[in-house]
Chain A
Amino acid sequence: MDCGTPPIPMDVRTATQTLLSVRNLKTYFPQDEGTVKAVDGVTFDLYPGATLGIVGESGCGKSVTARSILRIVDRPGRIVDGEIHFRRPTTNGGAGQTVDLTKLEPNGPEMRAIRGAEIALIFQEPMSSFSPVHSVGNQIIEAILLHQQVSRRDARDKTIEMLQRVGVSSPEARVDQLASQLSGGLRQRAMIAMALSCHPTLLIADEPTTALDVTTQTQILELMRQLQREDGMAIMLITHDLGVVAEMATDVAVMYLGRVVEQAPVDAIFHAPQHPYTRALLRSIPRMRARSRARLTPIVGAVPHPYDRPSGCPFHPRCADFMAGTCDRRAPSLRPVGDQHTVSCFLYE
């Protein structure tokens, strides 16, 4: 690791050990028409207590990366290469042993002990993320009972307590309601309650606010930040919304077509983006302090079809700095360009 200490606030600043370290992860979906390389060499690091924003257009492999980490990739997809090092907490909360999640049996007892308890997931559609025929409480209690040695009654109490913490009003009543009886914002709160019910060290939030209206979105993000302050877990925040990233993340990894093209602290990404894709991405969103009448520039072209990925650097057909003979021949690799700043581009090789 050549990244050094990340600029993370408070006590975690000294923790040089990564919580999650993904190396060259490849998750492919073999299909009749060809193999979809949804994740094709993803590399990034996540530190305890930090928030890593994973940014990219739809279909760039963000969600598959998240599912790969949890080992719940849908068939026929499977991890074909790479490592996912995850540092398991010890019982007293200290940093414990590191395991390579790719080496574990997806449905084996060890992976299942990690899933839900140490790494939790919340995702986009709070409506369909709950079973429509089981009460919200039932589904949270189930998670608690699974990972903690408590009685059913205690689990229920904990659930109510958790719902209270995430700001669900009258949790004693809500606990027995179906997801369809809750509003979108409440559902996402309940979802967060479920995810955090076992005090995970890593929370993967896959577009947690995309389906919500702007006001609710802000509330949920604020809630996540507050809970992170209290519990100290790391968050891997997957989003296509750069605004959310700017607000939440300490670090950012930019993904394009199954690869991380740039990873850097959030300030570096917004103020000194290096990869042409990151730059293009930033130019495509409106900014508060932009010169008046400055035009937004959309990124030329569309994300290529997953079956025919461009050769070489996957971004070269849309790249402004395309260098014929280089970018379309070889694939660049992630290289450090500054303090904890890595870029995968031939401009910097």
Chain B
Amino acid sequence: MLAYIGRRALLAVFTVWAISALAFAIIQLPPGDYVTSYIAQMASMGSVVSDEEAQNLRIQYGLGQPIYVQYLKWMELVVQGDFGFSMEWRRPVTEVIGDRLWLTVVVSVAALLLTWVLALPIGIYSAVRQYSVGDYVATFIGFIGLAVPNFLLALVILYLGFTLFNAHIGGLFTPELQDAPWSQAKVWDLFKHLPIPALILGLAGTAQQIRIMRANLLDELRKPYVVTARSKGLSEARVILKYPVRLALNPFASTIGYTLPYIVSGSIIVSIVLGLPTVGPLLLKALIAQDMFLAGTIVLLLGVMTVIGTLISDILLVWVDPRIRLEDT
């Protein structure tokens, strides 16, 4: 078991490394270097960066040195929590991102939870009542969920909300609370606003998970141990919930690792359409304005958060599946 978790953790470290390299590449790709743009930026604001200061910055970022040195220097700063300076916002990147990162996490986790809450019972129902009306309805909704890209779904829901109810669905807070400091009321407000974005974000994942759950469970239902359980005289509900569902959950649980990146990915673009105060709109703006430190940091942080989430789900999987626990103990 420890070996398994160790392997997973090692993989997570590699993944973080790969993400950091990609994020660094994103920062480096546009022409021009950071310090030059910083000086130009400062000059446009009317303040002058002294030569000495510029020189210090150049040394700090390792400019003029080989690319891997620059990468290591950047990593060194990142590990210390210094993500650089946002050109567009004229503030340190950490300040600009602020709460947005956590709101991204909240929205993604809400979508993930919703996916589970919806997909589990529907998937079980679909498999146990295969070819029933309910199964067909679930399958159909599943296909719609897979076929409609979530940003289009967001758009359609916004449009319907606007034309039918004349309501602006979107955002995570009522305007009055948007910039208010955190309070119980604000948390509650967030909670009330969560379902629609979570639903939009979670729909595709839910559709997929329903299909996975249904297929897994159909496979498991045919296995002899189900007959064994039945032949003991257990009630049907007990038979299904204790045995095949339990087994079908394993591959299901192992897909969280892929669902989470998918949801985080989706949250970016859905947030842009719905105007959610997550890192999504910020990333888009940063990319368009070529504010690369901000963009690179967002990509890096999102990736790291996802990897952590995936690692947690891997550890949960060990807890769920005793067979992994037995492996090379």
Contacts and interface: CB of A to CB of B under 8 A. Distances in A.
A/B: CB atoms within 8 Å of each other: yes
Nearest to B236: A107
Contacts of A117: 233
B228 interface: yes
Say what secondary structure dominates the interface of chain A: mixed
Contact of A133 (B232, B236, B247): B247
Contact of B235 (A107, A132, A180): A107
A123 B224 contact: yes
A272 interface: no
B227 A121 contact: yes
Contact of A132 (B222, B231, B234, B247): B247
Interface in A101-145: 107, 111-117, 120-121, 123-125, 128-134, 139, 142-143
B223 A128 contact: yes
Contacts of B232: 115-116, 142-143, 146, 194
A347 interface: no
A120 B322 contact: no
B233 A133 contact: no
A129 B233 contact: no
Contacts of B246: 131, 133-134
Q: How large is the interface on B (under 10, 10 to 19, 20 to 34, 35 or more residues)?
A: 20 to 34
A334 interface: no
B199 to A, nearest CB: 32
A107 B222 CA distance: 18
B167 to A, nearest CB: 46
A72 interface: yes
Contact of A129 (B228, B234, B247): B228
Contacts of B326: 178, 180-181
B321 interface: yes
A132 B325 CA distance: 13
B249 to A, nearest CB: 9
Contact of B225 (A107, A121, A129): A129
A11 B21 CA distance: 83
Given A72-B230, A116-B231, A147-B233, A129 B224 contact: yes
Interface in B231-246: 231-236, 242-243, 246
A131 B247 contact: yes
Contact of A146 (B225, B234, B236, B322): B234
Nearest to A67: B227
Given A178-B322, A178-B326, A180-B323, A130 B225 contact: yes
B230 A178 contact: no
Given A178-B326, A180-B323, A128 B234 contact: no
Contact of B323 (A123, A128, A147, A178): A178
B224 A125 contact: yes
Given A129-B224, A130-B225, A131-B243, A121 B323 contact: no
A236 interface: no
Interface of B: 222-225, 227-236, 242-243, 246-247, 250, 321-323, 326
Interface of A: 67, 70, 72, 74, 107, 111-117, 120-121, 123-125, 128-134, 139, 142-143, 146-147, 178, 180-181, 191, 194
Top 5 A-B pairs, shortest CB-CB distance: A116-B233, A116-B232, A115-B233, A121-B231, A112-B233
8 contacts: A72-B227, A72-B231, A121-B231, A123-B227, A131-B246, A133-B247, A133-B322, A139-B228
